[in-house]
Amino acid sequence: MAKQDEIQVALLGIGVIGSGVARTLLMKGSAYAEQLGFQLNLRHILERDLHKADEVPVDRGLVSDDPRTVLDDEAVDIVIELLGGERPAYDFIKEALSSGRYVVTANKEVMAKHGLELMALAQEREVDILFEASVGSGTPVIGPLRRDLSANEITSIRAIINGTTNYILTRMSKEGLDFDEALRQAQSLGYAEADPTNDVEGFDAAYKVAILASLAFHTHVQPDDVYREGITSLNARDFRYAQELGYGIKLLAVARMEEDGVDARVHPSFVPREELLANVDGVLNAVQVEGDLLGRVLFQGPGAGPLPTASAIMADLMDAARSVAAARAGRRGDRLPWRAGRPLRMKPVAELTTRYYLRMEVADQPGVLAQIARCFGDHGVSIASVIQKESDEVAQTAELVIMTHVAREESVQKTIEEAGKLAVVSRIGNLLRVES
Protein backbone atom coordinates (compact mmCIF):
# COMPACT_ATOMS: atom_id res chain seq x y z
CA MET A 1 0.00 0.00 0.00
CA ALA A 2 1.42 3.38 -1.02
CA LYS A 3 1.70 6.08 1.63
CA GLN A 4 -0.06 9.38 1.06
CA ASP A 5 3.04 11.34 2.02
CA GLU A 6 5.10 9.56 -0.65
CA ILE A 7 5.26 10.01 -4.41
CA GLN A 8 5.57 6.63 -6.08
CA VAL A 9 8.06 6.41 -8.96
CA ALA A 10 8.55 3.71 -11.61
CA LEU A 11 11.85 3.62 -13.52
CA LEU A 12 11.85 2.06 -16.99
CA GLY A 13 15.40 1.05 -17.86
CA ILE A 14 18.47 0.74 -15.66
CA GLY A 15 21.28 1.18 -18.15
CA VAL A 16 24.00 3.81 -17.79
CA ILE A 17 21.54 6.70 -17.32
CA GLY A 18 18.91 4.71 -15.45
CA SER A 19 21.42 3.39 -12.93
CA GLY A 20 22.63 6.96 -12.37
CA VAL A 21 19.06 8.05 -11.64
CA ALA A 22 18.49 5.10 -9.28
CA ARG A 23 21.70 5.85 -7.38
CA THR A 24 20.79 9.52 -7.13
CA LEU A 25 17.37 8.71 -5.70
CA LEU A 26 18.93 6.40 -3.12
CA MET A 27 21.82 8.66 -2.14
CA LYS A 28 19.95 11.96 -2.07
CA GLY A 29 16.47 10.77 -1.13
CA SER A 30 16.48 12.40 2.31
CA ALA A 31 17.75 15.71 0.90
CA TYR A 32 15.02 15.70 -1.75
CA ALA A 33 12.39 14.86 0.89
CA GLU A 34 13.50 17.81 2.98
CA GLN A 35 13.34 20.09 -0.03
CA LEU A 36 9.97 18.84 -1.30
CA GLY A 37 8.21 18.08 1.96
CA PHE A 38 7.49 14.48 0.94
CA GLN A 39 9.38 11.33 -0.01
CA LEU A 40 10.16 10.13 -3.55
CA ASN A 41 9.80 6.36 -3.36
CA LEU A 42 11.29 4.14 -6.07
CA ARG A 43 8.54 1.53 -6.34
CA HIS A 44 9.41 -0.36 -9.55
CA ILE A 45 12.32 -0.84 -11.93
CA LEU A 46 11.59 -2.34 -15.35
CA GLU A 47 14.60 -3.95 -17.04
CA ARG A 48 14.72 -6.71 -19.65
CA ASP A 49 18.24 -7.74 -18.54
CA LEU A 50 17.76 -8.37 -14.83
CA HIS A 51 21.53 -8.74 -14.27
CA LYS A 52 21.98 -4.99 -14.87
CA ALA A 53 20.39 -4.38 -11.47
CA ASP A 54 23.29 -6.24 -9.81
CA GLU A 55 25.45 -3.13 -10.23
CA VAL A 56 22.98 -0.85 -8.43
CA PRO A 57 22.32 -1.13 -4.67
CA VAL A 58 18.54 -1.48 -4.95
CA ASP A 59 16.14 -4.00 -3.45
CA ARG A 60 15.95 -6.80 -6.03
CA GLY A 61 12.26 -7.11 -5.27
CA LEU A 62 11.75 -3.80 -7.10
CA VAL A 63 13.18 -5.14 -10.36
CA SER A 64 11.01 -6.84 -12.97
CA ASP A 65 11.20 -7.68 -16.66
CA ASP A 66 7.38 -7.65 -16.96
CA PRO A 67 5.98 -4.29 -18.17
CA ARG A 68 2.54 -5.15 -16.81
CA THR A 69 3.86 -5.44 -13.26
CA VAL A 70 4.97 -1.82 -13.53
CA LEU A 71 2.36 -0.18 -15.74
CA ASP A 72 -0.66 -1.86 -14.14
CA ASP A 73 0.22 -0.69 -10.63
CA GLU A 74 -2.28 2.10 -9.94
CA ALA A 75 -0.17 3.39 -7.06
CA VAL A 76 2.53 4.67 -9.45
CA ASP A 77 2.39 8.47 -9.77
CA ILE A 78 5.34 9.17 -12.08
CA VAL A 79 6.99 7.06 -14.76
CA ILE A 80 10.61 7.76 -15.74
CA GLU A 81 11.28 6.33 -19.21
CA LEU A 82 14.96 5.68 -19.97
CA LEU A 83 14.71 2.73 -22.36
CA GLY A 84 15.82 4.66 -25.44
CA GLY A 85 14.68 4.00 -29.01
CA GLU A 86 11.19 4.50 -30.41
CA ARG A 87 9.52 1.22 -29.42
CA PRO A 88 8.41 0.07 -26.91
CA ALA A 89 9.26 3.38 -25.19
CA TYR A 90 6.59 5.33 -27.11
CA ASP A 91 3.90 2.76 -26.24
CA PHE A 92 4.81 2.78 -22.54
CA ILE A 93 4.87 6.59 -22.39
CA LYS A 94 1.50 6.84 -24.12
CA GLU A 95 -0.03 4.25 -21.78
CA ALA A 96 1.35 6.03 -18.71
CA LEU A 97 -0.06 9.40 -19.79
CA SER A 98 -3.40 7.87 -20.76
CA SER A 99 -3.71 6.43 -17.26
CA GLY A 100 -3.14 9.85 -15.69
CA ARG A 101 0.53 9.54 -14.68
CA TYR A 102 3.22 12.12 -15.14
CA VAL A 103 6.12 11.05 -17.39
CA VAL A 104 9.77 12.07 -17.32
CA THR A 105 11.86 10.99 -20.31
CA ALA A 106 15.24 11.52 -21.95
CA ASN A 107 14.06 9.96 -25.20
CA LYS A 108 14.93 12.32 -28.07
CA GLU A 109 13.65 9.98 -30.80
CA VAL A 110 10.22 9.58 -29.25
CA MET A 111 9.88 13.30 -28.52
CA ALA A 112 11.09 14.30 -31.98
CA LYS A 113 8.65 11.98 -33.74
CA HIS A 114 5.68 11.96 -31.33
CA GLY A 115 6.16 14.96 -29.04
CA LEU A 116 3.16 16.93 -30.30
CA GLU A 117 0.82 13.97 -29.78
CA LEU A 118 2.19 13.14 -26.33
CA MET A 119 2.08 16.73 -25.05
CA ALA A 120 -1.52 17.03 -26.27
CA LEU A 121 -2.40 13.75 -24.53
CA ALA A 122 -0.77 14.94 -21.30
CA GLN A 123 -2.75 18.15 -21.43
CA GLU A 124 -5.98 16.26 -22.03
CA ARG A 125 -5.31 14.01 -19.02
CA GLU A 126 -4.25 17.02 -16.88
CA VAL A 127 -0.75 15.69 -16.34
CA ASP A 128 2.54 16.52 -18.06
CA ILE A 129 5.45 14.98 -19.93
CA LEU A 130 8.82 16.49 -19.03
CA PHE A 131 11.80 15.92 -21.30
CA GLU A 132 14.64 18.28 -20.42
CA ALA A 133 17.26 15.53 -20.75
CA SER A 134 16.20 14.69 -24.30
CA VAL A 135 18.19 17.55 -25.87
CA GLY A 136 20.96 19.09 -23.78
CA SER A 137 21.61 16.38 -21.19
CA GLY A 138 22.62 18.57 -18.24
CA THR A 139 22.23 21.84 -20.16
CA PRO A 140 18.75 23.27 -19.44
CA VAL A 141 16.99 24.53 -22.57
CA ILE A 142 13.60 22.77 -22.79
CA GLY A 143 12.35 24.40 -19.58
CA PRO A 144 13.43 27.87 -20.65
CA LEU A 145 11.74 27.45 -24.05
CA ARG A 146 8.50 26.23 -22.48
CA ARG A 147 8.45 28.78 -19.66
CA ASP A 148 11.09 31.50 -19.34
CA LEU A 149 11.17 32.51 -23.01
CA SER A 150 7.47 31.98 -23.71
CA ALA A 151 6.81 35.73 -23.96
CA ASN A 152 9.28 35.95 -26.86
CA GLU A 153 8.72 35.31 -30.51
CA ILE A 154 11.67 33.01 -31.13
CA THR A 155 13.32 33.71 -34.48
CA SER A 156 16.34 31.42 -34.48
CA ILE A 157 18.18 28.61 -32.72
CA ARG A 158 21.78 27.68 -33.41
CA ALA A 159 23.17 24.83 -31.36
CA ILE A 160 26.00 22.42 -30.71
CA ILE A 161 23.96 19.54 -29.32
CA ASN A 162 26.05 16.41 -29.76
CA GLY A 163 28.95 16.01 -27.35
CA THR A 164 30.55 13.16 -29.32
CA THR A 165 30.93 15.11 -32.54
CA ASN A 166 32.00 18.25 -30.73
CA TYR A 167 34.78 16.32 -29.00
CA ILE A 168 35.93 14.84 -32.33
CA LEU A 169 35.92 18.23 -34.07
CA THR A 170 37.79 19.81 -31.15
CA ARG A 171 40.56 17.21 -31.40
CA MET A 172 40.75 17.64 -35.17
CA SER A 173 41.07 21.39 -34.73
CA LYS A 174 43.54 21.50 -31.83
CA GLU A 175 45.71 18.47 -32.63
CA GLY A 176 45.53 18.35 -36.42
CA LEU A 177 44.02 14.85 -36.39
CA ASP A 178 42.08 13.36 -39.28
CA PHE A 179 38.54 12.14 -38.61
CA ASP A 180 39.33 8.42 -38.15
CA GLU A 181 42.06 9.09 -35.60
CA ALA A 182 39.92 11.57 -33.65
CA LEU A 183 37.02 9.08 -33.63
CA ARG A 184 39.27 6.31 -32.25
CA GLN A 185 40.38 8.66 -29.50
CA ALA A 186 36.75 9.49 -28.64
CA GLN A 187 35.87 5.80 -28.54
CA SER A 188 38.83 4.95 -26.29
CA LEU A 189 37.63 7.58 -23.78
CA GLY A 190 34.02 6.38 -23.89
CA TYR A 191 32.72 9.51 -25.64
CA ALA A 192 31.74 7.62 -28.81
CA GLU A 193 29.88 4.33 -29.24
CA ALA A 194 31.38 1.31 -30.99
CA ASP A 195 28.94 2.16 -33.80
CA PRO A 196 29.04 5.98 -33.87
CA THR A 197 26.72 6.40 -36.88
CA ASN A 198 23.92 8.06 -34.95
CA ASP A 199 26.29 10.78 -33.77
CA VAL A 200 28.77 11.33 -36.61
CA GLU A 201 26.11 11.26 -39.36
CA GLY A 202 24.00 13.87 -37.56
CA PHE A 203 20.91 11.78 -36.70
CA ASP A 204 21.13 12.57 -32.98
CA ALA A 205 21.42 16.31 -33.62
CA ALA A 206 18.53 16.18 -36.12
CA TYR A 207 16.21 14.64 -33.50
CA LYS A 208 17.21 17.30 -30.99
CA VAL A 209 16.81 20.31 -33.28
CA ALA A 210 13.42 18.98 -34.38
CA ILE A 211 12.34 19.09 -30.72
CA LEU A 212 13.76 22.59 -30.21
CA ALA A 213 12.20 23.96 -33.40
CA SER A 214 8.81 22.47 -32.55
CA LEU A 215 8.82 24.15 -29.14
CA ALA A 216 10.26 27.45 -30.33
CA PHE A 217 7.98 27.90 -33.35
CA HIS A 218 4.82 26.21 -31.95
CA THR A 219 4.56 23.73 -34.78
CA HIS A 220 5.61 20.12 -35.35
CA VAL A 221 8.97 19.68 -37.04
CA GLN A 222 9.64 16.03 -37.84
CA PRO A 223 13.22 14.67 -37.96
CA ASP A 224 12.75 14.00 -41.68
CA ASP A 225 12.07 17.72 -42.16
CA VAL A 226 15.62 18.50 -41.01
CA TYR A 227 18.33 18.60 -43.67
CA ARG A 228 21.24 16.51 -42.38
CA GLU A 229 24.94 16.07 -43.10
CA GLY A 230 27.51 14.41 -40.86
CA ILE A 231 31.18 15.10 -40.19
CA THR A 232 32.84 12.09 -41.83
CA SER A 233 34.01 14.01 -44.93
CA LEU A 234 36.07 16.52 -42.91
CA ASN A 235 39.82 16.21 -42.71
CA ALA A 236 42.71 18.03 -41.08
CA ARG A 237 43.22 20.34 -44.09
CA ASP A 238 39.74 21.81 -43.69
CA PHE A 239 40.60 22.82 -40.13
CA ARG A 240 43.93 24.36 -41.15
CA TYR A 241 42.24 26.43 -43.84
CA ALA A 242 39.39 27.40 -41.49
CA GLN A 243 41.88 28.71 -38.91
CA GLU A 244 43.80 30.58 -41.59
CA LEU A 245 40.58 32.23 -42.74
CA GLY A 246 39.43 33.09 -39.21
CA TYR A 247 36.85 30.35 -38.60
CA GLY A 248 36.21 27.28 -36.50
CA ILE A 249 34.31 24.22 -37.74
CA LYS A 250 31.33 22.96 -35.73
CA LEU A 251 28.49 20.54 -36.36
CA LEU A 252 25.68 23.06 -36.02
CA ALA A 253 21.99 22.40 -35.64
CA VAL A 254 20.13 25.40 -37.02
CA ALA A 255 16.44 26.31 -36.94
CA ARG A 256 15.18 29.65 -38.19
CA MET A 257 11.70 31.09 -38.56
CA GLU A 258 11.57 32.99 -41.84
CA GLU A 259 8.76 34.71 -43.69
CA ASP A 260 8.31 31.81 -46.11
CA GLY A 261 8.75 28.93 -43.65
CA VAL A 262 11.06 27.14 -41.24
CA ASP A 263 14.70 26.52 -42.12
CA ALA A 264 15.93 23.47 -40.15
CA ARG A 265 19.26 21.74 -40.80
CA VAL A 266 22.25 19.96 -39.30
CA HIS A 267 25.66 20.09 -40.98
CA PRO A 268 29.31 21.06 -40.40
CA SER A 269 29.67 24.84 -40.59
CA PHE A 270 32.34 27.51 -40.69
CA VAL A 271 31.73 29.69 -37.61
CA PRO A 272 33.65 32.98 -37.17
CA ARG A 273 36.23 32.60 -34.42
CA GLU A 274 34.93 35.63 -32.52
CA GLU A 275 31.53 33.99 -32.00
CA LEU A 276 30.87 32.18 -28.72
CA LEU A 277 29.72 29.01 -30.49
CA ALA A 278 33.09 28.67 -32.25
CA ASN A 279 34.77 28.38 -28.84
CA VAL A 280 32.56 25.69 -27.31
CA ASP A 281 34.95 22.74 -27.15
CA GLY A 282 35.15 19.14 -25.97
CA VAL A 283 31.93 17.38 -24.97
CA LEU A 284 30.16 20.63 -24.08
CA ASN A 285 26.81 21.56 -25.61
CA ALA A 286 25.61 25.08 -26.32
CA VAL A 287 22.25 26.39 -27.52
CA GLN A 288 21.92 29.97 -28.73
CA VAL A 289 18.34 31.25 -28.84
CA GLU A 290 17.25 34.56 -30.32
CA GLY A 291 13.92 36.19 -29.47
CA ASP A 292 12.27 39.50 -30.22
CA LEU A 293 12.25 40.71 -26.59
CA LEU A 294 15.36 39.15 -25.09
CA GLY A 295 17.70 39.21 -28.07
CA ARG A 296 20.35 36.48 -27.96
CA VAL A 297 20.89 34.17 -25.00
CA LEU A 298 23.32 31.25 -24.78
CA PHE A 299 22.84 28.08 -22.73
CA GLN A 300 26.02 26.06 -22.25
CA GLY A 301 26.90 22.97 -20.23
CA PRO A 302 27.77 19.26 -20.27
CA GLY A 303 26.36 17.44 -23.28
CA ALA A 304 26.71 13.84 -22.17
CA GLY A 305 27.26 11.53 -19.24
CA PRO A 306 25.15 9.84 -16.56
CA LEU A 307 25.46 12.55 -13.90
CA PRO A 308 24.57 15.60 -16.06
CA THR A 309 21.67 13.65 -17.57
CA ALA A 310 20.56 12.49 -14.14
CA SER A 311 20.60 16.14 -13.04
CA ALA A 312 18.05 17.06 -15.71
CA ILE A 313 15.92 13.98 -15.06
CA MET A 314 15.84 14.57 -11.31
CA ALA A 315 14.87 18.23 -11.81
CA ASP A 316 11.97 17.11 -14.03
CA LEU A 317 11.03 14.43 -11.50
CA MET A 318 10.89 16.99 -8.70
CA ASP A 319 8.71 19.31 -10.83
CA ALA A 320 6.36 16.43 -11.59
CA ALA A 321 6.28 15.40 -7.93
CA ARG A 322 5.30 18.91 -6.82
CA SER A 323 2.40 18.80 -9.29
CA VAL A 324 1.27 15.41 -7.99
CA ALA A 325 1.38 16.69 -4.42
CA ALA A 326 -0.55 19.82 -5.40
CA ALA A 327 -3.27 17.74 -7.06
CA ARG A 328 -3.59 15.57 -3.96
CA ALA A 329 -4.10 18.74 -1.91
CA GLY A 330 -6.79 19.94 -4.31
CA ARG A 331 -4.63 22.61 -5.89
CA ARG A 332 -3.87 23.07 -9.54
CA GLY A 333 -0.46 21.63 -10.42
CA ASP A 334 2.25 23.75 -11.96
CA ARG A 335 1.92 22.21 -15.41
CA LEU A 336 3.41 23.81 -18.50
CA PRO A 337 0.77 23.70 -21.24
CA TRP A 338 1.99 23.85 -24.80
CA ARG A 339 -0.15 24.43 -27.85
CA ALA A 340 0.83 23.94 -31.44
CA GLY A 341 -0.08 26.61 -33.94
CA ARG A 342 -0.78 26.07 -37.58
CA PRO A 343 1.48 23.80 -39.66
CA LEU A 344 4.36 25.73 -41.18
CA ARG A 345 6.15 25.22 -44.47
CA MET A 346 9.52 23.50 -44.13
CA LYS A 347 12.03 25.12 -46.45
CA PRO A 348 14.21 22.83 -48.57
CA VAL A 349 17.95 23.35 -48.23
CA ALA A 350 18.07 24.34 -51.92
CA GLU A 351 16.58 27.70 -50.86
CA LEU A 352 19.30 28.45 -48.31
CA THR A 353 21.37 31.59 -48.92
CA THR A 354 24.72 31.92 -47.19
CA ARG A 355 28.46 32.04 -47.89
CA TYR A 356 30.37 28.88 -48.81
CA TYR A 357 33.83 27.36 -48.44
CA LEU A 358 34.94 25.03 -51.23
CA ARG A 359 38.11 22.98 -51.45
CA MET A 360 39.06 21.31 -54.75
CA GLU A 361 42.05 19.66 -56.37
CA VAL A 362 42.87 21.01 -59.85
CA ALA A 363 45.53 20.77 -62.57
CA ASP A 364 48.48 23.04 -61.84
CA GLN A 365 48.51 24.87 -65.17
CA PRO A 366 47.59 28.25 -66.67
CA GLY A 367 43.91 29.01 -67.39
CA VAL A 368 42.47 26.71 -64.74
CA LEU A 369 41.13 29.47 -62.53
CA ALA A 370 39.47 31.16 -65.50
CA GLN A 371 37.55 27.97 -66.36
CA ILE A 372 36.42 27.50 -62.76
CA ALA A 373 35.44 31.17 -62.39
CA ARG A 374 33.34 30.84 -65.53
CA CYS A 375 31.37 27.96 -63.92
CA PHE A 376 30.70 30.11 -60.88
CA GLY A 377 29.69 33.11 -62.97
CA ASP A 378 27.35 31.07 -65.16
CA HIS A 379 25.29 30.18 -62.07
CA GLY A 380 25.41 33.59 -60.42
CA VAL A 381 27.81 32.58 -57.63
CA SER A 382 30.27 35.35 -56.80
CA ILE A 383 33.78 34.39 -55.63
CA ALA A 384 35.05 36.39 -52.66
CA SER A 385 38.57 34.92 -52.49
CA VAL A 386 40.73 32.14 -53.93
CA ILE A 387 43.86 30.70 -52.35
CA GLN A 388 46.12 28.16 -54.07
CA LYS A 389 47.58 25.64 -51.63
CA GLU A 390 50.11 22.78 -51.54
CA SER A 391 51.05 22.08 -55.13
CA ASP A 392 51.88 18.42 -55.87
CA GLU A 393 54.78 18.59 -58.33
CA VAL A 394 54.63 14.87 -59.13
CA ALA A 395 50.91 14.80 -59.92
CA GLN A 396 51.07 18.38 -61.25
CA THR A 397 48.02 19.34 -59.20
CA ALA A 398 47.21 22.15 -56.79
CA GLU A 399 44.50 22.67 -54.18
CA LEU A 400 42.20 25.66 -54.47
CA VAL A 401 40.37 27.07 -51.47
CA ILE A 402 37.45 29.23 -52.57
CA MET A 403 35.25 31.43 -50.39
CA THR A 404 32.07 32.77 -51.98
CA HIS A 405 29.93 35.79 -51.31
CA VAL A 406 26.36 35.08 -50.21
CA ALA A 407 24.82 32.67 -52.71
CA ARG A 408 21.85 30.35 -53.07
CA GLU A 409 22.44 26.68 -52.22
CA GLU A 410 20.80 25.45 -55.41
CA SER A 411 23.15 27.60 -57.51
CA VAL A 412 26.22 26.49 -55.57
CA GLN A 413 25.33 22.81 -56.03
CA LYS A 414 24.90 23.30 -59.78
CA THR A 415 28.23 25.11 -59.89
CA ILE A 416 30.00 22.23 -58.15
CA GLU A 417 28.35 19.67 -60.42
CA GLU A 418 29.51 21.53 -63.53
CA ALA A 419 33.00 22.26 -62.17
CA GLY A 420 33.44 18.61 -61.27
CA LYS A 421 33.07 17.69 -64.95
CA LEU A 422 35.91 19.96 -66.06
CA ALA A 423 39.01 18.13 -67.26
CA VAL A 424 41.17 20.41 -65.12
CA VAL A 425 39.37 19.46 -61.89
CA SER A 426 40.74 16.26 -60.33
CA ARG A 427 38.49 16.17 -57.27
CA ILE A 428 35.95 18.23 -55.32
CA GLY A 429 37.31 18.01 -51.79
CA ASN A 430 34.70 19.56 -49.52
CA LEU A 431 31.90 22.10 -49.38
CA LEU A 432 30.99 23.80 -46.09
CA ARG A 433 28.44 26.48 -45.34
CA VAL A 434 29.33 29.59 -43.36
CA GLU A 435 27.12 30.39 -40.34
CA SER A 436 27.36 33.88 -38.88
DSSP code per residue over 308-333: HHHHHHHHHHHHHHHHHHHHHTTPPP
What backbone phi and psi angles, to 5 degrees, belong to 298? -120, 125
User: What is d(CA 34, CA 38) in angstroms, rounded to the nearest whole number?
Assistant: 7
Task: Say if residue 88 is preceded by a cis peptide, omega within 30 of 0.
Answer: yes
C-alpha closest to that of 288 among 243, 250, 261, 255 = 255
99: amino acid identity, one letter: S
User: What is d(CA 81, CA 6) in angstroms, rounded to the nearest whole number?
Assistant: 20
Whether 347 is catalytic is no
Length of the chain: 436
Helices then strands, counting H and E runs in the chain, come out as: 13, 17
B/e letters for 87-123, b = 16+ CB within 10 Å, e = fewer, are: eebbebbbbbbeeebbbbbbbbbbbbbbbbebbebbb
User: What is d(CA 425, CA 419) in angstroms, rounded to the nearest whole number?
Assistant: 7
DSSP 279: G
Active-site residue, from 28, 52, 113, 208: 208
User: What is d(CA 182, CA 188) in angstroms, rounded to the nearest whole number?
Assistant: 10
How buried is residue 76: exposed, middle or buried, by Cβ count under 10 Å (0-12/13-18/19+)? buried
Whether 192 and 179 have beta carbons less than 8 Å apart is answered as no
User: What is d(CA 368, CA 365) in angstroms, rounded to the nearest whole number?
Assistant: 6
User: What is d(CA 152, CA 273) in angstroms, rounded to the nearest whole number?
Assistant: 28
Active site residues: 208
